[in-house]
Structure 1
Amino acid sequence: MKKIFVLSAVLSAFSLQAQFTITVQAPADFKDQDAILYTLNGSKDIIFTKEQSKNNIWTFKYPQNYVGMMKMYFPSTNNTFNFISENKNVSIRLDTQGNKIKDVIYQDEANNLMSKQQEGSQKKELILPALTQIKEYYKDNTDFGKALKTEISRLSGGGNEINQTDHPFIYYYNTNYSKFLSADPSKKVSQDEIINFIDKSNDMLESSSLLRPLLVAYLNSGGNTNVAGSVDKLLDQLKVETPRGQTVLSELIDIFDVYEMADLKKKYLDQAKNLKCTINDRLASTLKSNANVQIGAAFPNYKFQSAVNTTAKSIYDVKADKKIVIFWSSTCSHCETELPKLLEKYNDLKAKNVQVIGLSLDVDKESYSKRITAFPWINDSELRGWNSSYSETYNIHATPTYFILDANNKIINKPDHVADVLEFFKLK
């Protein structure tokens, strides 16, 4: 009995050691009460929990080890910011104005250091080339010439070395970003180097935000002639049945979706569907969101938040022979081009008992409200941008995205452009 007690005590002590706390403080006039904490898996934000403020302080207790990127989202005011965890307490203070975050002050050592490193890297990448060009027009013995020389020297330096033991995530992120994603053409790496890194890297790869850009870099390094061959080579080494292989497969399916590479998306989505092993959460979410919007599937219902031009409470409550569902945004240039063409034919669509439903991925209420005054169809928005609940449900990667539903809310067509919508209804 004594041995069991000792083991229990050791496990309890480990659990306490693994837990860390995230504390965020905002000014008294910041109106949002709720905050949502996200972790990261590849390029996908994963909701951990939601907390309410106490005296404008949000406290999250994380019960296990986590090293990597995290995100805080305030849904009522649509504010968001990123930070890192090195499995130690995180302390952040927000500077706000008019319910918008002006500045994020990182008060713990790891985030303060990461913030300074990021700022230095941006200046080195964006400002240093410009300063180097400007220097040619100023003599070194002038005050401005001396200042330029000093700043160029400072930005050209290697910066502070990160101790891997003290700051494992910062070391991991900076080292591998510099090696694999640097804009410096002299640092080009081969496909085999990228494959070996993805294969051998520890779990920080999934939580680092590096995986998606690394896969894009890998595909670009192989050229456009045999993308499938490059993907097969990568997945063969990773073993697609493993958790890492499945996460990479999920990311690749999403990449092919974003870049409208339909044949490649279908090939690897079919491969994912045919796996006989246990599917990890990352790939399962990709399979589910794609299954939601395949031709012939019942379009998942959506309960309207504050819809205009209708008394219906949800998409399913809208009665019509056909429905056109559009995901759009007032800041989307393609939407600005395409939606007026739909507006021209709106009366013809109504005559065919076709209802149009616009779901906006806007953030700014004023911009959204102003734009929908021109659209007589049903309009609704959560005003949360890409944090909107429907972006994942309906596998939305770009705006505008169109779906055509029948009277029973089954998907019968997924047009690429407004011209395809009008052609479907013989209105072109």
Structure 2
Amino acid sequence: MKKILLASSILLSAYSFAQFNVKVEIPSYLSDSEIYLYGFNGSKEILYSKAKVSNNVASFKIDKQYVGMMRAFFKKANSSVNMVSENKDINFRIDLDSKNKISNVTFQDQANQLFSSEVESQKKQELILPALIQIKDYYKPSDQFYSSLETEISTLSNKDVSAYTDHPFLDFYNKNQKYSVQEKGVELKPEDFINFYSRSGEYLETSTILKPSLINFLNVSKSNVEGNVDKLLEAVNLETPRGQTIMSELIEIFNTYGMDKLKDKYLSQANNLKCTINDRLASTIQANKNTEIGAKMPNNNFVNAIHTKAKSLYDIKASKKIVVFWSSTCSHCEAELPKLLEKYDKLKAQNIEIIGFSLDSNLDEFKNKANIYPWVNDSEGKGWYSSYGDTYNIVATPTYFVLDADNKIISKPNHVGDVLDYLKVN
């Protein structure tokens, strides 16, 4: 009996500390790049490892079991590679184009070869298949080209899924794409989505399907969004990690789309839960507390600040502060920030300062754009992986806050015009 228990203990220990490696052959241009590997919890990306680079090979070591989608981010190229983890070693090579962007990815393992083929097939189905169907109408069935078109249409329309049987995650991903694709989601009923969330196995949270499928669920529930959300949350049980992750996703979706009444309702419900709260929902609750009217905005230590010698947000003294989260690649920012620039002298005359936090991933692009504006600007150079998202509940750019002299949030304007109206600057 002791031997059996000992063997079981060893097996359990090996399972608990399962690990795998990801190795990437990279061009020499990326040998000095920071390279990160992320996994997923719903729409939240979790940093699993930073690469060690040697002899043009970037190596990641994963010390915990993980099955699902992963993403490698190559900072210098500002490009990413999506892949599938089966808790096994992954090896691939990347090539760059003339602009040093990733142009080709070659995987060695079967799972990622299948996944790459699936992605390519989806692109063809979305872009090429509709065109081929239209072109076919211009030919007669007796034409040789008509027969060729029919063959290609048949190939693109019918997938061979037999290869997925040896890859449970890919099988799950393939079978459930219909919930996350808008064109297919509209054909489903709210009950279909509710059954999917409540009956899905362990792969849902790591599949990247959750958030887009929830958006589709809300779209097909538009005649009774609140009622169907209540049914969903009851079905998935808010005392479980899945229920709380889904609630977190919904609160963030409502926040993104300005559905404040629903956001406030379910945020209040989350705050009143008596059970243990998982990290995902706890971070959503905290981010909203950080940015509610009357809250003191959390401080931020500058890392790449320009136009200031201050070390942090709190170091900047003014009767009021306009805090704006923006990006050099954001078209709405391009339209709105010049209007702040036009009024900057008037704002300064009233002892109002502007502090910009950029969600750029390229610091050179950030500085080139930020130097146009005379106010304080800073960026972590991590894009949407900056700390700003979790700390300040940032889901879109530009996002504005108006603070008083004590850094308390006194307004959360939607647009630059609302900022100027609130501050009575004409």
Which residue does 2:9 correspond to in 1?
8
User: C-alpha displacement at 1:163, in angstroms?
Assistant: 4.4
Which residue does 2:196 correspond to in 1?
197
Query: Could you list the runs of 5+ residues in structure 1 that have no partner in the other structure?
Result: none
Deviations 1:73-103 (A, max 9, x none): 2345433221111222211211124543222
Distance in 1 separating the partners of 2:77 and 2:335: 29
Compared with structure 1, are the counterparts of its residues 330 and 144 closer, same or farther at alpha carbon in structure 2 (3 Å cutoff)? farther
In the TM superposition, 1:260-409 aligns within 5 A as 260-365=258-363, 367-409=365-407
Distance in 2 separating the partners of 1:92 and 1:196: 37
Which residue does 1:22 correspond to in 2?
22
Task: Decide which moves more: 373-382 or 83-92.
Answer: 373-382
Distance in 1 separating the partners of 2:370 and 2:180: 44
In the TM superposition, 1:28-427 aligns within 5 A as 28-97=28-97, 99-138=100-139, 145=146, 147-156=148-157, 158-178=158-178, 181=181, 183-184=183-184, 188-223=187-222, 225-365=223-363, 367-427=365-425
User: C-alpha displacement at 1:69, in angstroms?
Assistant: 0.7
Task: Decide which moves more: 110-119 or 87-96.
Answer: 87-96
User: C-alpha displacement at 1:13, in angstroms?
Assistant: 4.5
Task: Decide which moves more: 171-180 or 209-218.
Answer: 171-180
Compared with structure 1, are the counterparts of its residues 69 and 180 closer, same or farther at alpha carbon in structure 2 (3 Å cutoff)? closer
Residue identity in the other structure for 2:325? F
User: C-alpha displacement at 1:245, in angstroms?
Assistant: 0.9
Task: Decide which moves more: 175-184 or 125-134.
Answer: 175-184
Task: Decide which moves more: 82-91 or 67-76.
Answer: 67-76
Identical aligned pairs, as a percentage?
52
User: C-alpha displacement at 1:352, in angstroms?
Assistant: 0.8
SS in 2 for 1:315: coil
SS in 2 for 1:49: strand
Residue identity in the other structure for 2:123? Q
Maintained 8 Å contact 2:37/2:72: yes
Task: Decide which moves more: 170-179 or 274-283.
Answer: 170-179
Query: Could you list the runs of 5+ residues in structure 2 that have no partner in the other structure?
Result: none
Residue identity in the other structure for 1:307? A
User: C-alpha displacement at 1:109, in angstroms?
Assistant: 0.6
Compared with structure 1, are the counterparts of its residues 321 and 421 closer, same or farther at alpha carbon in structure 2 (3 Å cutoff)? same
Compared with structure 1, are the counterparts of its residues 52 and 142 closer, same or farther at alpha carbon in structure 2 (3 Å cutoff)? same
Maintained 8 Å contact 2:132/2:149: yes
Compared with structure 1, are the counterparts of its residues 129 and 275 closer, same or farther at alpha carbon in structure 2 (3 Å cutoff)? same
Compared with structure 1, are the counterparts of its residues 75 and 305 closer, same or farther at alpha carbon in structure 2 (3 Å cutoff)? farther
Compared with structure 1, are the counterparts of its residues 367 and 59 closer, same or farther at alpha carbon in structure 2 (3 Å cutoff)? closer
User: C-alpha displacement at 1:71, in angstroms?
Assistant: 1.4
Distance in 2 separating the partners of 1:179 and 1:298: 40
Deviations 1:172-227 (A, max 9, x none): 01111136646258x8222112111110111101111111111111111122x432
Residue identity in the other structure for 1:253? I
Distance in 2 separating the partners of 1:76 and 1:305: 18
User: C-alpha displacement at 1:250, in angstroms?
Assistant: 0.3
Distance in 1 separating the partners of 2:182 and 2:303: 43
SS in 2 for 1:204: coil
Maintained 8 Å contact 1:180/1:189: no
User: C-alpha displacement at 1:406, in angstroms?
Assistant: 1.7
TM-score when normalising by structure 1: 0.92
Deviations 1:40-60 (A, max 9, x none): 111110112223212222222
Compared with structure 1, are the counterparts of its residues 136 and 31 closer, same or farther at alpha carbon in structure 2 (3 Å cutoff)? same
Distance in 2 separating the partners of 1:184 and 1:191: 13
Distance in 1 separating the partners of 2:41 and 2:162: 24
Distance in 2 separating the partners of 1:327 and 1:43: 20
Distance in 1 separating the partners of 2:90 and 2:100: 23
Distance in 1 separating the partners of 2:162 and 2:190: 27
SS in 2 for 1:93: strand
SS in 2 for 1:154: helix
Deviations 1:117-170 (A, max 9, x none): 1211221122111111123334566675554343223212x2222445411011
Residue identity in the other structure for 2:268? D
Residue identity in the other structure for 2:217? Y
Compared with structure 1, are the counterparts of its residues 142 and 347 closer, same or farther at alpha carbon in structure 2 (3 Å cutoff)? same
Task: Decide which moves more: 44-53 or 369-378.
Answer: 369-378
Compared with structure 1, are the counterparts of its residues 159 and 126 closer, same or farther at alpha carbon in structure 2 (3 Å cutoff)? same
Compared with structure 1, are the counterparts of its residues 10 and 391 closer, same or farther at alpha carbon in structure 2 (3 Å cutoff)? closer
Maintained 8 Å contact 1:316/1:409: yes
Maintained 8 Å contact 1:30/1:96: no
SS in 1 for 2:414: coil
Distance in 2 separating the partners of 1:305 and 1:63: 30
User: C-alpha displacement at 1:27, in angstroms?
Assistant: 1.6
Maintained 8 Å contact 2:24/2:92: yes
SS in 2 for 1:37: strand
Distance in 2 separating the partners of 1:54 and 1:140: 59
Distance in 1 separating the partners of 2:180 and 2:397: 30
